[in-house]
Structure formats: C-alpha cells, structure tokens
Structure 1
Amino acid sequence: MTTTMKKVLLTGGAGFIGSHVADLLLARGCELTVLDNLSFGRREHVPAAARFLQMDLADRPGVFEAFQVGGFDTVVHLAAIHFIPYCNQHPDLACRTNVEGTQNIFDAAQASATVQRLFTASTAAVYPDCAGAIDETVGRAPMDVYGMTKSANEEQAAILARRSDIKVSVGRFFNAVGGRETNPHLVPDILQRIRHSNTIEIGNTSPKRDYIDVRDMATGVLAMLDGNAGPIDTCNIGTGEAYDVVEIAAFLSEIHGSPIQLQPAERLIRKVERQNLQADSHRLQSRYGWKPQHSIRDSLGYAHSWYVNT
C-alpha cells in the first residue's frame, strides 16, 4: 500500500537521515517543506526543490505558524540533538530541543486539523544492554540523556495518538551509516581522521552495534508512513547484524586500500556503554514488507566515498 502524501513537513531535513528521506519524498512528487535550525544540519543537504524554513523547534509560535501556512497532511519529525556525548554534556539543551521541541511539533500537528500521518524518530538508545537481537517488547531503560529524551518522545507520541486521529509511527533507529553524516559518530570520525593518518586513537572497541545504511533507514521511514493504519505503531529500523569497532576498522581498511591501526586512548573511553545493540526488525519486515537492501560493505563504501573522496 502506498499512502498519498501531498504536502509534507520534514523536520531535520538538513541532517544525515533527513536529507535522504527528503530525496525519497521529492522523488514521489510530494510538496516538501524542510524545517531545520542548521545547528547540526547543513543547508547544502536540503534539496533545491524543497521549501526551507530555518527555525528552532523551541520556537512554539513559529512552529504553529508554519503548520497554519503549510497545510501539511504528513509530518516526518527527525530533528533532534543526536550525538550522545553532546547530549550528556548539554542536558538542558537536549531536553529543550528533543522534548520541548517535539511537543511543539506534536501540538501544532494536532491543532492543524490537516495532518493525517506523523512519523517520529526514536532510537535504539531507549533499550537496556541486552545480549542478542532486541525486539520491541523489551522495556525501555535508557542509559544516557539522549535515550532518556527519546523515551520521553515515545510517551509524547502515545499521548498524541490517544488525543487525535493522527496515525502515528515511531521508528527506533539503530546506527545509520553512509554519506552526509553531520555528527562525529564512529565511522565518519575514523574516515575524517584517515585523511591525515592511518593510526586512529579510539576508546571502547568491544561494543557491538547494528549498522544500517542510511538509504535503508530512509525507506524504512516511508514504509511505516505508507502502511501504518494507526493509531500508533513502533518498529525497530535495523539490519539484525552487529559489528564491533575492530570489525568496522577491518572493513574500512579493505575499502580504503591500506590498514587502519587502532590505538587505545583511555581519555576516549565512555564510562557507561552498552556492549550490544542489535535489532530484531521482524516487525518492520512482516508488517510493512521492508527489507534492508545494502550490506555493511555497501554502507561503509558509501560513507568512504563521501568523506574521503569528496
């Protein structure tokens, strides 16, 4: 089933995942408005065919006005402060943007009387540290400020679904990989640094993560928007496979054509760290017919071409 989406508001559309979602929406012929304050996103990531609003989510009057003028039938809410160390260092700003800002988007969507569907991004960081693949029945137990704000977003989404007729989709994002990343996560950090040296200082190397191609992440978002009959559904968006830092460095060494040496640095070690975050994405696949199309090598190759060759 493909839902008719005509007028779409995409928050965070100047960011990593958002800009890839924007490409897909425009390819469908949607009239797209991107809302982003460019604190982390980049203006050049916003497609020329999209209308752009530079605005902070915490600007409640501005957000409400954007909805009144836009007449949106669909909202894709991806804007947030994502980088876990930054959130831990600036919990006030993370809460203001991720929680207060999200409430402004949800309230404006409900008040608009035009929004029919809304997707909001959550994260694997809402989960506790678990061995093996994690499905959506595992209770939320965030271990950091970012996960806490996203757990709050899920509660906000549930309230929106109860109080409105909007069909709400919640996607728990695992670790996206590819081009246009705007935060210094593991892969872009390594790729930026191998421009200067193949010896990379690193902190924790044993934790395993489910790395999903950003293009597959974007198709997962649209699959939920298309297929969710409401009032609310929550799905993991991941591959079901997990790799540690040593394995990722080995893949990147092959792609780069020269060995990357990891040098342990105690100052970079996170004191609180999950050892495993691996998605069970059966729900997304069975309910919405979605499957990842890109291997880990595809994803890392896309990232490498973006950061090293451009």
Structure 2
Amino acid sequence: MKVLVTGGAGYIGSICVERLIDRGYQVIVLDNLSEGHIKAVESRALFIKGDIADRNLLLSIFMNEKPQAVIHFAAKALVAESMRDPSLYFQNNVAYGINLLDAMVAYGLKRIVFSSTCSIYGSVTKVPIDENFPANPENPYGESKFLFEKILEWYRKIHGISPVIFRYFNAAGATLYHGEHHRKETHLIPRILQAALGILSKVEIYGVDYPTADGSAIRDYIHVVDLVDAHIKALENPFEGVFNLGSAKGYSVLEVIEAARAITAMPIPAVVCSRRTGDPPILVANFRKAFETFGWKPNYDLNAIIQSAWSWHKSHPRGYE
C-alpha cells in the first residue's frame, strides 16, 4: 500500500514513516519543514517539500503518486501560541485541511487517519476520559482539531470518506533513529532531558496550585511507538470512528521530573512558574474503545518512555541540527 503522510518530517510523523516502511509500505512524505526537519525524513520515503495550503500541489500528488490512504499529522500544535494567534491555528488546522479532503474526494480516496488531541476535552471533573465525554476545548488549538473532526464527519456522510480519528494524550519517547526536536520546545519530557544535558539551565513547572495530590498538572504519557502502531492498525483493519490513545495512567509534572532524575542520574534543576493559560489540570485516557475495536493497547510505561527519549537525546543533544 502507498500512503501519503502529511507532516512526515515532524516528531510523530517521522517515526510513523519509519514504522510504515519497516512494515513494507510505500510512503510519500509531504512537509513544509516549518516545524519538521529534513534530517528526520526517512531516506526510503519519497519526500515532497510543500504545504497543504497548496491545493494544486495536493492534486498533483494524488494524480501522479496515487496514494491509497492518508495519515494527516500536519498541524500547528502549541497551546500558548494558539491563545495568542488563533487565526494561524484555524487556517492551518481547519481551512488548509479541507484542501486535503477535497483532493481525496477528487481522486476517490476514502481512507484517512487523523491526528487529533485530548485538548478537545478541556478541563474534566472525572478521569479517565472516554470518547463520550463532551468536547469542551479551552484553547484555539483544541478547538481547531475538534472543528476538523466535525468536518471529517460531514465528508464521511456526503462523500463516503472513511476517517479514523485518534485523540492523542501526551506523546513522548523515541526510537533509535528518530526523536523529539521542536524548534520551540514546550513539551515536558524533552525539556527535562535538555536540562539533564545542561542545554537548559532548568525546567519550568507551570503551576503547583492545581487540585492534584502534589499541586502540579497530571498528564497521561504514551510512547510514540505505541501511538504510531495504532495508525498502522488503522490502515490494516476496516474500522472508523474516534479513539483515545493513551495509557490510562496519569503522572504529575513533579513525578515525571523525579522519574527522569532517577533514570538520568542527573539533578535536573526545576523552578516553579505560574500556570499557562489554557492548560487543564488533569488529562488521563480511557483507551478501552481502541482495545475492543482493534486490539490496541500500550506496551511501554513511563520509565521506558523516558529511557528511550534519554538515549536519543544523549546521541542527538542538538536534535537534528
């Protein structure tokens, strides 16, 4: 099968491409490299530098390369940035995504796997969160993903598109060859490991006044390999719908820092800062629907996630640069 992967030079996208090719898929990577890295692109993939904003480019890719399925990662994905510049998020994550769907319709392509987010749920009073929880995004990033989910449903009804929507919880970890390198790093685990390496002087803890046991925010961490393996199952099995991808276990920021200190044997200085706007206090997944529908479950715990990330960051202290 030939698969078009948008955002295939990014963190999750590059690891998905690696795993797809290892399983015998032909892969076309479309990425504008605004967030991704050319060195993260698999040499075994066909790379096209471009943007989903370019409708003509998308149509030419479908005409010339004839992909049989799409995995759509390309998006803006910073909560704080979305609070400052919502237009950027609604353009990139919604309007430009419609270009991709229209190209699929034009060439009769049905299968799309969409990278969504647990940010759709907003603040919740009960965990773990299942897919029936009402959507209540608290930032334009989450809202933009939810809007595209609704658009996918209309394209399913009207055009027969067959979407699989994965609502990610916190992706982390690495493979031997690919890891997490954002030009503006906001994710907790890579920032912790950069502090362990001395690249950062300290790691920030954004709030210790949440209604949690130690006051810091709680998140559900899922190994990126577990995450992308769900996407491959979506290509290999005839199901559709919305699915949470997480571990069903929550860890506070302070707990993650302590786990990293134990694994790295480094002190990892930390400093408490005020909360970030738009950050919910607790997000933990219920992934039962994914398990019951297509047999997916996570295989890696938090220690394995941090250990894999630490191995990659030690060998790539400046990421792909």
TM-score, normalised via structure 1 length: 0.92
Give a deviation string over 1:62-98, Cα, whole Å, max 9, x none: 1122112121111111110112122222222222111
Q: Which moved more, 1:139-148 or 1:64-73?
A: 64-73
Question: What letter matches 1:11 in structure 2?
Answer: T
Q: Which residue of 2 aligns with 1:109?
A: 104
Q: Which moved more, 1:191-200 or 1:126-135?
A: 191-200
| SS of residue matched to 2:122 | coil
Distance 2:260 2:204 in 1: 15
Residues 57-72 of structure 1 mapped to structure 2, 5 A cutoff? 57-72=52-67
**Offset at residue 165 of structure 1 (A):** 2.8
Change in 2 beyond 3 A, CA 1:272/1:117:
closer
Question: What letter matches 1:240 in structure 2?
Answer: A
Q: Which residue of 2 aligns with 1:284?
A: 290
Structure 2 residue 217 is matched with structure 1 residue 210: no
Q: Which moved more, 1:81-90 or 1:101-110?
A: 81-90
**Offset at residue 191 of structure 1 (A):** 1.5
How many matched pairs? 300
Change in 2 beyond 3 A, CA 1:28/1:201:
closer
| SS of residue matched to 2:113 | strand
1:262 pairs with one of 246, 265, 270 = 270
**Offset at residue 235 of structure 1 (A):** 0.3
1:125 pairs with one of 119, 126, 137 = 119
Structure 2 residue 278 is matched with structure 1 residue 272: yes
TM-score, normalised via structure 2 length: 0.89
Could you tell me the percent identity over the aligned residues? 31
Question: What letter matches 2:190 in structure 1?
Answer: P
Alpha-carbon contact 2:195-2:269 (below 8 Å) kept: no
Residues 180-191 of structure 1 mapped to structure 2, 5 A cutoff? 180-183=179-182, 184=185, 185-191=187-193
Structure 2 residue 195 is matched with structure 1 residue 193: yes
Structure 2 residue 260 is matched with structure 1 residue 252: yes
**Offset at residue 273 of structure 1 (A):** 2.2
Structure 2 residue 99 is matched with structure 1 residue 93: no
| SS of residue matched to 2:251 | coil
Question: What letter matches 2:148 in structure 1?
Answer: N
Alpha-carbon contact 2:8-2:17 (below 8 Å) kept: yes
Distance 1:271 1:296 in 2: 26
Distance 1:21 1:309 in 2: 20
Alpha-carbon contact 1:194-1:200 (below 8 Å) kept: no
Structure 2 residue 302 is matched with structure 1 residue 296: yes
Question: What letter matches 1:298 in structure 2?
Answer: A
Distance 1:65 1:213 in 2: 35
Distance 2:39 2:75 in 1: 19
Q: Which residue of 2 aligns with 1:148?
A: 143
Distance 2:255 2:190 in 1: 15
**Offset at residue 304 of structure 1 (A):** 1.1
**Offset at residue 121 of structure 1 (A):** 1.1
Distance 2:7 2:19 in 1: 15
Change in 2 beyond 3 A, CA 1:44/1:152:
same
Alpha-carbon contact 1:169-1:225 (below 8 Å) kept: no
Q: Which residue of 1 aligns with 2:16?
A: 21
Distance 1:299 1:213 in 2: 6
Distance 2:159 2:16 in 1: 25
| SS of residue matched to 2:47 | strand
Question: What letter matches 1:54 in structure 2?
Answer: K
Structure 2 residue 123 is matched with structure 1 residue 137: no
Alpha-carbon contact 2:3-2:28 (below 8 Å) kept: yes
Residues 47-86 of structure 1 mapped to structure 2, 5 A cutoff? 47-86=42-81
Distance 1:200 1:237 in 2: 26
